[in-house]
């Protein structure tokens, strides 16, 4: 299999974390969907990363779809539980992580625009509110627990961890740890896992 992604894509990192945790052999190829001659569009009509190319040549896209596929074919404990209620809870955490990350991406990309072309202060406040609310719910629901869901390591922890990691990377001036000590503890714990430490973003692409 092949995974197309970029070092600055948090959603590609999410998939790479799952690949590592599930001990899956997969070639990681740095590419951008919009670049001239990109190899991505034949496998993903949306021309976005991450895009996974299966061994049979078919493409999969959207990180939530990709990680569910990888969880089903990889080894080790399931990251997405079979039990319906636990599964839905894990997917809820994933939606929170993806939503926080999407808002962070939006702010980070807008900061790169010239000041006179940036969106309104109201737009920035709305994106920030998504992040603040998402983190507050994560902090509340994690509480004193070691794991986000199901009393064990799941995709919920990956969702929280990659979102927090991207927040540190893209908006380093945003101090979230003081308000969210449970999440800060979780982030520290996850950072020691090889799947996290070996997939840190180093530069925007």
Residue 149, token pair as written in the block: 């869901």
Q: Is residue 202 part of a domain?
A: no
- In the numeric block, the tokens 């945003």 are attached to 174
pLDDT in tens, 107-118: 998 987 787 778
Whether residues 123 and 186 share a domain: the answer is yes
Identify the pLDDT of residue 126. 97
Q: Which two tokens stand for residue 110?
A: 């807008």
Rounded-to-5 percentages of helix, strand, coil across the chain? 50, 10, 40
**Is 49 within the bounds of a domain?**
yes
Q: pLDDT tens for residues 155-183?
A: 999 999 999 999 999 999 999 999 999 99
Which among 18, 50, 73 is the end of a domain?
73
**Structure token digits, residue 24:** 């899956």
Spatial distance between the Cα atoms of 198 and 114, rounded to a whole number of angstroms? 33
Residues 150, 81: contact at Cβ < 8 Å?
Answer: yes
Question: Does residue 89 fall inside a structural domain?
Answer: yes
- Residue 6 CA to residue 13 CA, distance in Å, equals 8
Total domains in the chain come to 2
Distance in angstroms (rounded) separating the CA atoms of residues 39 and 189: 36
pLDDT of 205: 40
Q: Say if residue 146 is in the same domain as residue 49.
A: no
Q: What is the pTM of this model?
A: 0.95
pLDDT along the chain (205 residues), means of 10: 95 98 97 93 97 97 98 96 98 98 95 81 95 98 98 98 96 95 98 95 52
Q: Note whether 154 and 148 are within 8 A (CB).
A: yes
Q: How far apart are CA 131 and CA 59, in angstroms?
A: 31
Mapping DSSP to helix (H, G, I), strand (E, B) and coil, where does residue 3 land? strand
Query: Quick one: 182 and 99 in the same domain?
Result: yes
Range of the domain at 64: 2-73
């Amino acid at each position: 299999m092949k995974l197309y992604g970029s070092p600055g894509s948090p959603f590609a990192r999410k998939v790479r974390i799952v690949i590592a945790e599930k001990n899956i052999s997969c070639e990681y190829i740095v590419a951008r969907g919009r670049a001239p001659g990109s190899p991505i569009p034949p496998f993903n009509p949306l021309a976005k990363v991450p895009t996974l190319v299966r061994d049979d040549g078919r493409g999969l896209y959207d990180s939530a779809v990709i990680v569910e596929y990888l969880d089903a074919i990889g080894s080790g404990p399931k990251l997405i539980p079979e039990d319906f209620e636990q599964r839905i809870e894990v997917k809820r955490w994933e939606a929170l992580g993806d939503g926080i990350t999407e808002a962070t991406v939006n702010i980070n990309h807008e900061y790169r625009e010239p000041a006179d072309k940036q969106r309104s202060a109201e737009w920035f406040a709305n994106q920030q509110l998504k992040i603040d609310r998402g983190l507050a719910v994560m902090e509340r629901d994690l509480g004193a627990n070691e794991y986000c869901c199901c009393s064990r390591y799941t995709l919920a922890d990956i969702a929280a961890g990659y979102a927090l990691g991207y927040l540190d990377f893209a908006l380093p001036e945003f101090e979230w740890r003081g308000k969210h000590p449970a999440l800060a503890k979780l982030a520290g714990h996850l950072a020691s896992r090889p799947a996290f430490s070996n997939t840190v973003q180093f530069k925007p692409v």
